């Protein structure tokens, strides 16, 4: 099981007041997988948010590799996705 699926499964279980329930683990992992799968295709707002990091990358500011760029851009992209519901 991937680390991200486990993180999301734990968050879903905690949201519903369940922690450390091995009998429900499989159900939460399945829900987590479905939730993550739904995020596979980024929204335009997410792409725009991630793209905002590109000038910094081009100038070499604080970001030295593509990996670093992704680490910087991903939280911004997720924040953009979460903010979309309020728009």
pTM over 0.85: no
Q: Do 51 and 34 share a structural domain?
A: no
Q: Do 78 and 51 share a structural domain?
A: yes
In the chain, the number of structural domains is: 2
* Helices marked H in the chain: 3-15, 22-38, 44-51, 54-59, 66-84
The boundaries of the domain holding residue 34 are: 3-38
Q: Do 34 and 52 share a structural domain?
A: no
In tens, the pLDDT along 14-67 reads: 999 987 767 788 899 999 999 999 998 888 888 888 777 766 666 666 555 667
pLDDT at 86 over 60: no
Q: What is the pLDDT of residue 71?
A: 78
CA distances to 1, 33, 37 from 45, rounded to whole Å, are 30, 23, 18
Q: Do 48 and 77 share a structural domain?
A: yes
Give the highest mean pLDDT range of 6-20, 41-55, 69-83. 6-20
Q: Do 34 and 49 share a structural domain?
A: no
Q: How would residue 1 be classed by pLDDT, with cut points 50, 70 and 90?
A: confident
Q: Do 53 and 34 share a structural domain?
A: no
């Amino acid at each position: 099981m991937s680390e991200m699926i486990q993180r999301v499964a734990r968050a879903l279980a905690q949201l519903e007041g369940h922690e450390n329930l091995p009998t429900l683990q499989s159900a939460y992992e399945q829900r987590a997988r479905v939730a993550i799968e739904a995020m596979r295709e980024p929204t335009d707002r997410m792409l725009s948010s991630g793209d905002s990091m590109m000038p910094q990358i081009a100038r070499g500011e604080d970001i030295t590799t593509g990996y670093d760029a992704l680490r910087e851009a991903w939280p911004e992209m997720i924040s953009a996705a979460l903010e979309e519901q309020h728009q």
